[in-house]
């Protein structure tokens, strides 16, 4: 049993392994493409931010101090760079727009200083305004005397002559006006292409991952079906061989057994000694048991083929009940269909086997319930007993040949029943009955073949 469990577990792992690997690869593919898409969006924003900073420097150079309040200067700057994506330039002082050029698309709520705002294919950036010039710094000639020192090693040179001020300090630096801001809107160049390509890669990666997962699931299902089909073929082959062997044994035993039983019965009739008569009766009983076994073997050997035709499912159940013990069986055939395509004799034998088993475990005073109906376009027989039930671990093995829980059972009844049901492409299962005991459910599909 342990080796069988290990074999089933190993096969399950072998079938599930490719599926797990496919899902892991798909997850990595999706994760990597998602991260790439996120990085592409960040890169696009970074590109747009750098373009905004470049626009700010360019406009600062085009708007000299003292002309920043002139709307014509803003219009000139806008027209000069409109082809490069510049769409709006505005100057704000103390929260009010004092000059503007172009049509803004983004909301009036302004982003923080230096932080770009994105929307509707545009970027808005706010920077300090151009301002005006500050006071001029003194030149070297106008510096105070304290600033003109004699260099220790060069008394003939002045420090200002050796270390003159840089040229940009020779002119007055710009002075940024308080509460002055320059607002720019522009169409970024290149960022949309970066994001679009990353999005295409993301979509393709998701599609590839889904196809990979679907292919893995399809292969797994196909492998499971192939394995079940192989098991079914192997089981049918074993059952066919067993049936042939059983038929040979039954035929070889049947004639000698009939002679043995007949002579034992004659001997029992002529013996007056009670002790000897009981022993002869025991021989007769054992001969009858062997005769029952040979009959079961012959029936099992003949259960490998079916001949279907249109039969009355309700009458089938009534005949099976009449062949067993009708007084202990409560039948319900009110919902039975008028006809169904199946092998009438074989299905009747299945019902007799199930009813015999149910009666053997049901205590006296209780009745076996039997019903027939159509559920989900399938003919369903239900046999319910009041016995101890079937343990969960035995609910598959009870249908194996020669598996029996009875002392004098042959172990062929349920195996033969399952074989007949399988030939009808149906199912037979056992489960717990609602009121205790076992419930056998036998289902036959609709019209497995055309009736002859």
Domain ranges of the chain: 11-204, 225-299, 306-445
Is residue 71 pLDDT above 70, yes or no? yes
Sign of CA pseudo-dihedral 371, 377, 379, 384: negative
Angle 73-74-80 (CA atoms, 0-180°, nearest 5)?
90
Decide if 180 contacts 42 (C-beta within 8 A): no
Q: How would you class 126 by CB atoms within 10 Å of its CB: exposed for 0-12, middle for 13-18, buried for 19 or more?
A: buried
Sign of CA pseudo-dihedral 241, 246, 249, 251: negative
Sign of CA pseudo-dihedral 306, 312, 313, 315: negative
Is residue 366 pLDDT above 60, yes or no? yes
Residue 63: phi and psi, rounded to 5, are: -115, 85
pTM for the model stands at 0.45
pLDDT of residue 375: 92
- From residue 75, alpha-carbon distances to 93, 160, 171, 181 in Å are 18, 44, 28, 17
Q: Which CATH architecture has domain 306-445?
A: 2-Layer Sandwich (3.30)
Residues 6+ apart with CB under 8 A from 83: none
- From residue 315, alpha-carbon distances to 101, 336, 347, 372, 451 in Å are 96, 9, 12, 10, 18
Residue 411 falls in which region: left (phi positive, over 0), alpha (psi -120 to 50) or beta: left
Give the tens place of pLDDT for each residue, 288-305: 777 766 665 666 555 566
Decide if 160 contacts 146 (C-beta within 8 A): no
Give the tens place of pLDDT for each residue, 171-223: 444 444 456 778 888 888 877 778 788 888 888 888 888 888 888 888 888 88
Q: How many residues does the chain have?
A: 452
Q: Compute CA 365 distance to the chain's CA centroid, rounded to the nearest angstrom.
A: 50
Residues 6+ apart with CB under 8 A from 360: 406
CATH number of 225-299: 1.10.287
Neighbours of 308 (CB within 10 A): 20
Alpha-carbon span 121 to 282, nearest angstrom: 102
Residues 6+ apart with CB under 8 A from 134: 172, 173, 174, 175
Name the CA radius of gyration of the chain, rounded: 49
Alpha-carbon span 75 to 80, nearest angstrom: 8
- How much is the average pLDDT of 367-381? 93
Alpha-carbon span 347 to 81, nearest angstrom: 91
- How much is the average pLDDT of 45-59? 81
pLDDT of residue 248: 63
Alpha-carbon span 404 to 416, nearest angstrom: 13
- Which of 69-73, 94-98, 278-282 has the weakest average pLDDT? 69-73
pLDDT class for 427, splitting at 50, 70, 90? very high
Alpha-carbon span 321 to 370, nearest angstrom: 9
In percent, how much of the chain has pLDDT > 90? 13
Residue 426: phi and psi, rounded to 5, are: -105, -170
pLDDT class for 146, splitting at 50, 70, 90? very low
Three-state DSSP class for 93?
strand
Is residue 168 pLDDT above 50, yes or no? no
């Amino acid at each position: 049993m342990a080796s069988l469990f290990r074999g089933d577990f190993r096969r399950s792992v072998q079938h599930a392994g490719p599926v797990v690997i496919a899902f892991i690869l798909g997850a990595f593919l999706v994760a990597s493409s998602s991260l790439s898409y996120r990085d592409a969006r960040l890169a696009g924003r970074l590109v747009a931010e750098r373009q905004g900073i470049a626009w700010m420097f360019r406009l600062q150079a085009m708007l000299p101090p003292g002309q920043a309040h002139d709307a014509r200067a803003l219009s000139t700057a806008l027209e000069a760079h409109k082809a490069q994506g510049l769409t709006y330039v505005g100057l704000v002082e103390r929260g009010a727009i004092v000059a503007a050029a172009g049509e803004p698309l983004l909301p009036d709520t302004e982003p923080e200083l230096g932080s770009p705002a994105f929307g509707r294919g545009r970027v808005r950036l706010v920077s300090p305004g151009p301002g005006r010039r500050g006071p001029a710094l003194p030149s070297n000639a106008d510096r105070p005397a304290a600033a003109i020192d004699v260099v220790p090693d060069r008394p003939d040179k002045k420090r200002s002559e050796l270390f003159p001020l840089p040229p940009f300090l020779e002119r007055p630096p710009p002075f940024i006006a308080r509460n002055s801001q320059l607002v720019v809107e522009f169409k970024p160049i290149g960022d949309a292409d970066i994001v679009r390509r990353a999005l295409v890669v993301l979509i393709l990666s998701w599609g590839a991952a889904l196809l990979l997962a679907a292919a893995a699931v399809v292969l797994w299902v196909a492998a499971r079906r192939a394995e079940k089909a192989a098991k079914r073929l192997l089981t049918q082959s074993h059952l066919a061989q067993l049936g042939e062997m059983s038929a040979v044994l039954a035929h070889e035993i049947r004639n000698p057994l009939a002679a043995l039983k007949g002579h034992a019965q004659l001997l029992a009739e002529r013996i007056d000694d009670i002790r000897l008569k009981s022993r002869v009766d025991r021989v007769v009983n054992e001969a009858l048991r062997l005769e029952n076994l040979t009959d079961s073997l012959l029936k099992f050997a003949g259960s490998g083929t079916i001949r279907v035709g249109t039969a009355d499912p309700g009458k089938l159940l009534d005949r099976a009940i009449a062949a067993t013990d009708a007084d202990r069986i409560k039948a319900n055939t009110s919902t039975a269909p008028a006809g169904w395509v199946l092998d009438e004799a074989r299905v009747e034998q299945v019902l007799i086997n199930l009813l015999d088993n149910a009666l053997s475990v049901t205590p006296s005073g209780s009745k076996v319930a039997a019903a027939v109906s159509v559920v989900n376009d399938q003919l369903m027989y239900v046999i319910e007993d009041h016995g101890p039930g079937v343990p969960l671990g035995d609910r598959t093995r009870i249908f194996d040949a020669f598996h029996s829980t009875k002392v004098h059972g042959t172990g062929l009844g349920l195996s033969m029943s399952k074989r007949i049901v399988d030939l009808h492409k149906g199912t037979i299962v056992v489960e717990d009955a609602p009121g205790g005991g076992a419930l056998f459910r036998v289902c036959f599909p609709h019209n497995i073949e055309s009736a002859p």
